[in-house]
Amino acid sequence: MKTLLVTGGAGFIGANFVHYWLAQYPQDKVIVIDALTYAGNMANLATVNSNPNFTFVQGDICNTALVEQLLRAHSVDTLVHFAAESHVDRSITGPDAFIETNILGTYSLLKAAKIVWLDNKDTGVSNHRFHHVSTDEVYGTLSATDPAFTEETAYAPNSPYSASKAASDHLVRAYHHTYGLNVTTSNCSNNYGPYHFPEKLIPLVITHILHNEALPIYGDGQQIRDWLYVTDHAYGIDLVLNKGRVGENYNIGGNNEWANIDIVKTICTLMDQQFASNSALAAQFPKAAAAQKGDSASLITYVKDRPGHDRRYAIDATKTNNELGYQPKESFETGITKTVAWYLNNEAWWRAVMDGSYKDWLQKQYDAPAS
Ligand code: NAD
Ligand code: DAU
């Protein structure tokens, strides 16, 4: 039995991880610490909130004393660190929060873990683990013909977001080498699925189609991302926690590369099919082009490129596959179909998110369409 402290558990991947973990290991205890920034949402945890093995604490990971107190009060043995500023576009317009949370926040957690687990050893926990959730973006960008990123690929982050994640990865590594903290790090590719904040490409496209709003494609739309269904990320972290070697990095990915424009066209087709097969959708979303038998792809609009936009990410997960027996359970076809269905069935969730300050932020991001 484990007692987990999950940072950022009210965000997209953190919440999916909490759902996964409590379903998989119902005897375990899960404590979430989350600052509830614009990306954190208690609605993401509504289905576990009454579970007696679940505790939510609103707090900032930069508050080392609070983290120490939680590690002690609950005799936590496993810390799974998701909390971060996670959106590349926001890191370009406002890097401060990324430095604060991603670098100083991770440092604060490491300090607390070292004090409680290594220096004082007063919680009776003999086998601790600090698992750090990182990204493939720390490896930089690939050309169309480069081999995919392995755990040996040199770090070359290109955005303030990925640089802040790279810095946090290095701190985690250093706490293992210098102090002997039991750490693991996973570097995952782009996730998609339920509770994905609608500033990110896939949920943005789905919700814009329903509002009949432009689908903004940065640059030429030929940038490539390697998409993984979010529960398969949670499963990968589970394997790293239970079978991974301390001090190691593990890549997690689904071998599923898509050019942005192709993924957007695929979602348009799926949405049009949903409207064609379910007449109730036209009444629910009357603004959508598909409600009038129109073509959602007509909303595609090329806009100015993201500054420093990485061209291609691709994960080589051979080490994780061979060493931990990892294979994603969801195909892209099943994963994206489930995701579209989730957004169609959870209008209240995304409407509440989109009615907030996010909407104003998003509006400011759109430049005039490129010629
Ligand atoms: P998210 O933005 O949806 O959620 C982040 C969560 O962290 C939110 O609940 C937010 O309130 C919380 N948070 C932010 N600052 C905090 C602070 N100072 N103290 C406490 N909580 C704070 O992010 P996500 O997409 O779920 O990503 C989770 C982690 O996974 C991040 O570390 C990210 O770098 C990594 N990751 C994301 C992806 C992806 O495709 N989204 C892929 C690979 C890795
Ligand atoms: O690779 C893992 C990373 O994936 C995570 O570390 C990040 O936290 C996560 O946000 C994600 O980063 P991306 O920048 O790849 O995701 P995003 O959804 O913002 O964009 C995906 C691609 O789509 C990217 O090439 C930019 C492009 N894009 C995005 C938006 C929001 C568009 O063309 N138009 C858009 O409106």
What's the pLDDT tens digit per position in 310-323? 999 999 999 999 99
What's the pLDDT tens digit per position in 102-124? 999 999 999 999 999 999 998 99
pLDDT score for 273: 96
How high is the mean pLDDT of the chain? 96
Query: If you average pLDDT over residues 260-282, what whole number do you get?
Result: 97
Q: Which residue has the higher pLDDT, 165 or 362?
A: 165
> Is 7's pLDDT higher than 50?
yes
HEC per residue, the chain: CCEEEEECCCCHHHHHHHHHHHHHCCCCEEEEEECCCCCCCHHHHCCCCCCCCEEEEECCCCCHHHHHHHHHHCCCCEEEECCCCCCHHHHHHCCHHHHHHHHHHHHHHHHHHHHHHHHHCCCCCCCCEEEEEEEHHHHCCCCCCCCCECCCCCCCCCCHHHHHHHHHHHHHHHHHHHHCCCEEEEEECEEECCCCCCCCHHHHHHHHHHHCCCEEEECCCCCEEEEEEHHHHHHHHHHHHHHCCCCCEEEECCCCEEEHHHHHHHHHHHHHHHHHHCCHHHHHCCCCHHHHCCCHHHHEEEECCCCCCCCECCECCHHHHHHHCCCCCCCHHHHHHHHHHHHHHCHHHHHHHHCCHHHHHHHHHCCCECC
Look-up: residue for tokens 């957004």? 343
pLDDT score for 367: 53
Kindly give the distance from the C-alpha atom of residue 87 to the centroid of ligand 2, in angstroms, as a whole number: 7
Is 89 contained in some domain?
Answer: yes
Using CB atoms within 10 Å of the CB of residue 227, give its burial: 0 to 12 exposed, 13 to 18 middle, 19+ buried.
buried
The half-sphere exposure of 291 on its side-chain side, counting CA atoms within 13 A, is 13
What's the pLDDT tens digit per position in 252-266? 999 999 999 999 999
> Is 361's pLDDT higher than 80?
no
pLDDT score for 112: 98
pLDDT score for 366: 62
pLDDT score for 358: 72
Terminus-to-terminus CA distance in the chain, angstroms? 58
Is 199 contained in some domain?
Answer: no
Is 322 contained in some domain?
Answer: yes
Residue 24 lies in domain? 3-190+229-253+310-329
Using CB atoms within 10 Å of the CB of residue 322, give its burial: 0 to 12 exposed, 13 to 18 middle, 19+ buried.
exposed
Is 264 contained in some domain?
Answer: no
Is 217 contained in some domain?
Answer: no
Q: Round to whole Å and give the CA distance between 261 and 267.
A: 10
pLDDT score for 220: 98
Which of 136, 232, 310, 316 is labelled catalytic? 136
pLDDT score for 211: 93
Q: Round to whole Å and give the CA distance between 203 and 218.
A: 16
pLDDT score for 355: 83
Q: Respond yes or no: is residue 213 known to be catalytic.
A: no
Q: Round to whole Å and give the CA distance between 316 and 322.
A: 11
Is 183 contained in some domain?
Answer: yes
Is 221 contained in some domain?
Answer: no
> Is 170's pLDDT higher than 80?
yes
Whether 76 and 126 have beta carbons less than 8 Å apart is answered as no
**Closest ligand to 41 CA?**
1
> Is 371's pLDDT higher than 60?
no
Share of the chain above pLDDT 90, in %: 93
What's the pLDDT tens digit per position in 52-91? 999 999 999 999 999 999 999 999 999 999 999 999 999 9
Label residue 368 by pLDDT band (50, 70, 90): very low
Which of 20, 107, 139, 161 is labelled catalytic? 161
pTM for the predicted model, two decimal places:
0.97
Q: Round to whole Å and give the CA distance between 186 and 82.
A: 11
Binding pocket residue ranges, ligand 2, CB within 6 Å: 86-88, 135-137, 189-190, 200-201, 204, 216-218, 223, 225, 260, 306, 313
What's the pLDDT tens digit per position in 279-288? 999 999 999 9
**Closest ligand to 199 CA?**
2
pLDDT score for 356: 73
Overall domain count for the chain:
1
Identify the weakest region by mean pLDDT among 67-76, 154-163, 302-311, 348-357: 348-357
Kindly give the distance from the C-alpha atom of residue 86 to the centroid of ligand 1, in angstroms, as a whole number: 5
Query: If you average pLDDT over residues 222-237, what whole number do you get?
Result: 98
Is 348 contained in some domain?
Answer: no
CATH number for the domain that contains residue 60 = 3.40.50.720
What is the phi/psi pair of residue 216, to 5°?
-75, 125
What's the pLDDT tens digit per position in 141-150? 999 999 999 9
